[in-house]
Amino acid sequence: MQVQFNSDSSVMGTENVAERIEAAVREKLSRFEERLTRIEVHVRDENAHKGGNDDKACTIEARPRSGRAIGVTEHAATVDLAARKAANTLAQRLERHFGKAERHKHDPSPDKII
């Protein structure tokens, strides 16, 4: 599973923000690793130099091996918290997505005898 990290220039205040967030996202989504090809993480500060509550946003998009991409966005006071919230929400959505796929799998139809 490939993890791609993107951010705007106002978020990269500390050196290891990308490593911290990537590690947290990988840990939270590790159980889906075999079913995903790529995860894209986007973090941004929505009002840049101005302060404010919940102005940091994290969008995570997961690419399942089959099917369409699944994405979530969460806001928080810090990018780490926004990423943690987004990873939790995405894990729930993936659980639902893959759970539905498992429930709707059908055994092959038995041959009809006439």
pLDDT, tens only, 70-102: 999 999 988 899 999 999 999 999 999 888 656
Domain residue spans in the chain? Answer: 2-106
Label residue 103 by pLDDT band (50, 70, 90).
Answer: low
The closest alpha carbon to 86, from 31, 49, 52, 44, belongs to: 44
CA distance 76 to 58: 9
Beta bridge partners of 100: none
CA dihedral 80, 81, 86, 91 (to 10 degrees): 90
Per-residue pLDDT tens over the stretch 1-50: 888 888 877 766 566 888 889 999 999 999 999 999 999 999 988 876 67
Residues 6 or more apart whose Cβ sits within 8 Å of residue 64: 35, 36, 37, 70, 94, 97, 98
Structural contact between residues 60 and 69, judged by C-beta atoms closer than 8 angstroms: no
Structural contact between residues 75 and 59, judged by C-beta atoms closer than 8 angstroms: no
Tokens 């991409």, residue located: 69
Q: Residue 114: pLDDT above 70?
A: no
What pLDDT does 1 receive?
A: 81
- Specify the CATH number of the domain 2-106: 3.30.160.100
Query: What tokens were used for 17?
Result: 């923000």
